[in-house]
Chain A
């Protein structure tokens, strides 16, 4: 009797495995195999197809590579400035939209979420023209007499960074807002009611109720935004091409340049890719620790 039970359980187990076997196989083939290959590749040097193992040469080169450090610096600048601004924006907008007295809610939600539907390349190209030296933004500012000289939105090292930050904020704020909105709708309105009875002001309610209850979402959005920003590519490639000089070069664009713009050096490009992996792991770990979420 026992033996029969055992067989049935085994068979059930086997069926379970069979159900996921296809997915597991695909994931191994298309996720883990390339990852391991890329790790191996990061120890090889040589141009194009002439690759050979060269120990830690690529990693040594990485540590003395000025362009790489500029790319890291730029990427972190985008990260430090843009992610908090965007999260705060997203949170504020979601609170405004969650107001039960607000009219045309659906319209506003759609309007703010809509940028996420546009393709990265398409919106980047539009931004490039908007922010061109003779672009719409400059023309508008000049005609309104806010400026006397056009701003070099794309050709000036400082303004180019600002342009990129404006672009990504426009594109991703609505996306993050949706997470906050859905989470806000899960907060029981009786909590606010009780707070109001106790005499808590609007801001007090926001900081003492809304923010703590949104903490998991803040954590989630900041981690995904961090990962997204570390992989920033489309906007830079299409708006500034990393320029002027390398004022807006991002790590991902540097990887692209190493692989395709320059004489292909796939080994070193893989090394730089792995540096992003390491940075994401460290940053995500820090964010989880800082948020004190030990669940």
Chain B
């Protein structure tokens, strides 16, 4: 245990010092920069998720190399947490040599990198035309009026429903078009009564559902400035909390504790619906025997919030170019592929299942294709349509810090604390946390 103690202490301390970061990154620097030293333009890309982001980047690479045979692009897979740690330690030490040229960053976290390390990222300038991308993606990917990120996948959400369970409970897909959360809960109760299946599966430690609810009404944990917590007296958040509690108390939720049991919830046919981001499509389709039994309907809206629409977002990320050797080549690569290549976006849909946020791509044929798994529904076209309707909010710097505070207050609220008190407690904690 002594060894463990030493290792932990050392690791903790060393990460904080420039000294260690330098020595850490020197080894890795070879992979990143030897190409440059040799005079060619080797571009290193870091991303997570082999079947999604990495697969998409490899398609972009193939498309680019086909036109520029000299180009060398290396796509490296890391876990998202590792990328965040490596970026933080690398950028903090001031030594960018061990870092890649292009990195994928989640939209919720983007501002925290752009604002914290102001000179570390390369402005894209004319390489992409910002008006070609979904508007809600531009807030998180720009800073001080300059565009730093190439908006990538849409986190547009939908309500995935099991049509067979609904039918058994006496509903058709049409009954679920454009509903609100109250109606959703009523349908859920009916489904539970008739089929014995829960309506959805939720991890109480993940407030993704709250995030989707509030963004559908153009609200967020922070005010529009991206720094002032907006929890106390936030009517939208209040309604989201109340709806969430009603949902949890209606006995229609199968509790899960992690990602794999979340997936198992719908793959094994235990739940009748999944309200989440479109990136779940490949996972839903993983159960081939359920083909034809699913449909995707617009996301439910909040009943009382005046601005609430049937479109929202969950997750999603974008590509950033680091301000180091090879940045020109990296910008050129991104601009020529994900910044403008409509054909590439069609391939992304058909081969990987990525719904992009590049608007001209929606005209392509892959977007209009019917999907037999979803009973012939043109799901990609629907998602592309809803993407354009997502309210634009400023995620700011503190999504996860505030969410950790809210998780606790949500537990308190579920256990009987008054909502106003829970949210005002959260507000004061958030204010002291964010300085």
* Distance A113 CA – B203 CA, assembled complex (angstroms): 35
Least CB distance from A151 to B in Å reads: 11
Question: When the two chains form their complex, are residues A245 and B407 in contact, meaning their CB atoms are under 8 A apart?
Answer: yes
In whole angstroms, how far apart are the Cα atoms of A239 and B204 in the complex? 14
Query: For the complex, is B410 an interface residue (Cβ under 8 Å from A)?
Result: yes
- Which of B10, B255, B256, B404 is close to A31, meaning CB atoms less than 8 Å apart? B10
Contacts of A266 in B (CB 8 A): 16, 92
Contact, CB under 8 Å: B14 / A49: no
Q: Nearest A residue to B412 by beta-carbon distance?
A: A245
Q: In the complex, which residue of chain A has the Cβ closest to the Cβ of B429?
A: A66
Residues of B within 8 A of A263 (CB): 112, 115-116, 397-398, 401
Is B264 among interface residues, defined by CB-CB distance under 8 A?
A: yes
Find out whether the CB atom of B257 lies under 8 angstroms from the CB atom of A133: yes
Known interface pairs A155-B255, A252-B8, A260-B88; A50-B116 also in contact (CB < 8 Å): yes
Query: Is B91 close to A, CB under 8 A?
Result: yes
Contact B116–A49 (Cβ < 8 Å): yes
Per-residue B-contact encoding for A235-264, CB less than 8 Å = 1, 0 else: 000001111111100001001010111111
Q: Which residues in window 414-435 of B have CB below 8 A to A?
A: 429, 432-433, 435
Q: Is A33 a contact of B17 with CB atoms below 8 Å?
A: yes
Cβ-closest chain A residue relative to B15: A259
- Chain A contacts for B116, CB-based, 8 A: 47-50, 263-264
Q: A31-60 toward B: CB 8 Å interface, digit per residue (1/0)? A: 101110110010001011110000001000
Contact between chains at B261 and A49 (CB < 8 Å): no
CB-CB nearest in chain B for A277: B9
Is there a chain B Cβ closer than 8 Å to A182's Cβ?
no
Please, which residue of chain B has its CB at the minimum distance from the CB of A227? Answer: B5
Contact B400 A262 (CB under 8 A): yes
| Chain B interface category by residue count | 35 or more
Contact with A along B171-213 (1 / 0, CB 8 A): 0000000000000000000000000000000011100000000
In the bound complex, how far is the Cα of B115 from the Cα of A262, in angstroms?
A: 13
- For window 180-209 of A, CB contacts with B under 8 Å fall at none
Q: Are A155 and B257 in contact (CB under 8 A)?
A: yes
CB-contact partner of A262 in B16, B85, B401, under 8 A: B401
Q: Are the C-beta atoms of B16 and A270 separated by less than 8 Å?
A: yes
**Given A133-B255, A155-B203: A34 and B92 interface contact (C-beta under 8 Å):** no
For the complex, give the distance between the alpha carbons of A67 and B400 in Å: 14
Q: Which residues of B contact A241 (CB under 8 A)?
A: 205
Produce 1/0 per residue, B1-38, CB < 8 A to A: 11011001110111111011000000000000000000
Q: Does B251 lie at the interface of the complex (its beta carbon under 8 Å from any beta carbon of A)? A: no
In contact, B13 and A35 (Cβ under 8 angstroms) = yes
Given contacts A31-B10, A245-B407, A264-B112, contact A224 B205 (CB under 8 A): no
Residues of A near B88 (CB, < 8 A) are 48, 259-260, 264
B112 near A47: Cβ-Cβ < 8 Å: yes
B170 at the interface (CB under 8 A from A): no
Provide the bound-state CA to CA distance between A30 and B398, in Å. Answer: 33
Residue of A nearest to B411 (CB): A245
Q: B305 on the interface (CB 8 Å rule)?
A: no
- Interface pair A37/B13, CB less than 8 Å apart: yes
Chain B residues in 8 Å Cβ range of A154 = 257-258
Q: Give every chain A residue within 8 A of B432 (Cβ-Cβ).
A: 61, 64-65
Cβ 8 A contact of A47, one of B81, B264, B397, B411: B397
**Nearest-CB residue, chain B, relative to A48:** B116
A290 to B18, CA, bound (A): 41
Does any Cβ of A come within 8 Å of B263's Cβ? no
Interface string of B390-410 (1 = CB under 8 A from A): 000000011011001101101
A132 to B204, CA, bound (A): 14
Within the complex, the shortest CB–CB distance from A254 to chain B, in Å, comes to 9
Cβ-based interface call for A123 (8 A)? no
Q: Which of A70, A153, A233 has the most CB of B within 10 A?
A: A233
Q: Contact residues of B with A, CB < 8 Å?
A: 1-2, 4-5, 8-10, 12-17, 19-20, 81, 84-85, 88, 91-92, 94, 112-113, 115-117, 203-205, 255-258, 261, 264, 397-398, 400-401, 404-405, 407-408, 410-411, 429, 432-433, 435
Binding site for B on A (CB under 8 A): 29-31, 33-35, 37-38, 41, 45, 47-50, 57, 61, 64-67, 70, 120, 128, 132-134, 152-155, 157, 172, 175, 224-225, 227-228, 231, 233, 240-247, 252, 255, 257, 259-264, 266, 269-270, 273
A-B complex: 5 closest residue pairs judged by Cβ atoms = A48-B116, A243-B205, A34-B13, A263-B112, A262-B401
